[in-house]
Amino acid sequence: MRNLLHFFPGRASPPFAMGIYDAAHLLSIVNLMLLSHLRNFKADPMRWFTLAGVYVIDLGIILSINSRLSFMIFLVFTVLFLTQAMKALRGLFTVSLFTMPLMMSFALLIYEILSLPMFAAIMERVDKTDITTFNGRTYIWTAIADWLRDDRRGLIFGNGYNGQYHLRLLESVAKLWGEPGSYRLHCHSAFLEMLVDQGIVGILLMYGVYWTGYKFYQKQYLTNGPMAPLYAGFIYMMFAWQIDIVGYAFYSGFLMVFIMMGPVVMKTHESKAMNMLTDSARR
pLDDT the model gives residue 8: 85
Residue 119 or residue 105, greater confidence: 105
pLDDT the model gives residue 122: 67
In the chain, the amino acid numbered 93 is F
Residue length of the chain: 283
> For residue 277, what pLDDT band results from cuts at 50, 70 and 90?
low
The C-alpha angle 36, 37, 41, rounded to 5 degrees, equals 120
Neighbours of 73 (CB within 10 A): 25
Report the distance separating Cα 56 and Cα 144, nearest Å: 38
pLDDT the model gives residue 123: 66
pLDDT the model gives residue 115: 80
pLDDT at 25 over 90: yes
Report the distance separating Cα 218 and Cα 216, nearest Å: 6
Position 107 in a domain? yes
- Inter-axis angle of helices 20-34 and 252-282, to 10 degrees? 50
pLDDT at 83 over 80: yes
Query: What average pLDDT does this structure show over 174-198?
Result: 94
pLDDT the model gives residue 270: 66
pLDDT the model gives residue 9: 85
Neighbours of 226 (CB within 10 A): 9
Q: Report the phi/psi class of residue 249: left, alpha or beta, with left for phi > 0 and alpha for psi in -120 to 50.
A: left
What total of structural domains would you count in the chain?
Answer: 1
pLDDT the model gives residue 118: 72
The range of the structural domain enclosing residue 115 comes to 101-127
Position 122 in a domain? yes
pLDDT the model gives residue 132: 84
Position 79 in a domain? no
Position 121 in a domain? yes
DSSP 165-195: HHTTTTHHHHHHTT-S-STT---S-HHHHHH
DSSP 194-209: HHHHHHHHHHHHHHHH
- Which of the given ranges, 108-112, 158-162, 176-180, has the highest pLDDT on average? 158-162
pLDDT at 10 over 90: no
DSSP classification of residue 10: T
Q: What is the 3-state secondary structure (H, E, C) of 17-78?
A: CCCHHHHHHHHHHHHHHHHHHHCCCCCCHHHHHHHHHHHHHHHHHHHHHCCHHHHHHHHHHH
Position 58 in a domain? no
Position 123 in a domain? yes
Residue 276 or residue 97, greater confidence: 97
> For residue 6, what pLDDT band results from cuts at 50, 70 and 90?
confident
Report the distance separating Cα 250 and Cα 131, nearest Å: 27
pLDDT the model gives residue 126: 64
What pTM was estimated for this model as a whole?
A: 0.89
Position 106 in a domain? yes
pLDDT the model gives residue 268: 67
Position 35 in a domain? no
In the chain, the amino acid numbered 172 is S
Query: What average pLDDT does this structure show over 38-59?
Result: 93
Mean pLDDT of the chain: 90
Q: What share of the chain in percent tops pLDDT 90? A: 64
Query: What average pLDDT does this structure show over 35-49?
Result: 91
Report the distance separating Cα 12 and Cα 62, nearest Å: 8
pLDDT the model gives residue 117: 78
